[in-house]
C-alpha cells in the first residue's frame, strides 16, 4: 500500500528541525539556561512533533481511502491507524 502523498524530503527536513530543537534543549540544560526558555523550546518541539504526526496520519488516511486499495489493505491500514491513535493518546 502506498504512503498517500508524503513529501519525503519535506518530512525529513521537519525531523531534522525537531532534532535541532531537542539538541538545543540538551545544550540549554547543560548550560543552566532559564527554565522559561527551556519550556518554550519544549513547547515548540511538541508542536513540531504534533504537526509531523498529523501529516503522517493524514497520509495514512488517504491511503485507506484510495480507490484502488484492496479491502484487506484498507482493513490493515484501519487497524494500524486505530493502534497509533490509541498510543498517541496514552
Ordered by where they begin, the domains of the chain are 8-88 (1.20.58.1000)
pTM: 0.75
pLDDT (tens digit, 0 to 9) for every residue of the chain, 90 residues total? 345 567 899 999 999 999 999 999 999 999 999 999 999 999 999 999 999 988 888 888 877 777 777 888 888 888 888 898 888 787
Contacts 24+ apart (CB under 8 A), 54-62: 55/6, 55/11, 56/6, 56/11, 57/81, 57/84, 57/85, 58/4, 59/3, 59/4, 59/5, 59/6, 60/3, 60/4, 60/84, 61/4, 62/4, 62/5
Amino acid at each position: 500500500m502506498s504512503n498517500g502523498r508524503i513529501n519525503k524530503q519535506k518530512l525529513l527536513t521537519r525531523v531534522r528541525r525537531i532534532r535541532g530543537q531537542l539538541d538545543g534543549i540538551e545544550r540549554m540544560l547543560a548550560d543552566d539556561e532559564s527554565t522559561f526558555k527551556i519550556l518554550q523550546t519544549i513547547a515548540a518541539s511538541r508542536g513540531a512533533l504534533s504537526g509531523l504526526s498529523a501529516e503522517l496520519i493524514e497520509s495514512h488516511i488517504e491511503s485507506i481511502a484510495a480507490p484502488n486499495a484492496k479491502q484487506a489493505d484498507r482493513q490493515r491500514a484501519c487497524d494500524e491507524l486505530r493502534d497509533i491513535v490509541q498510543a498517541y493518546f496514552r
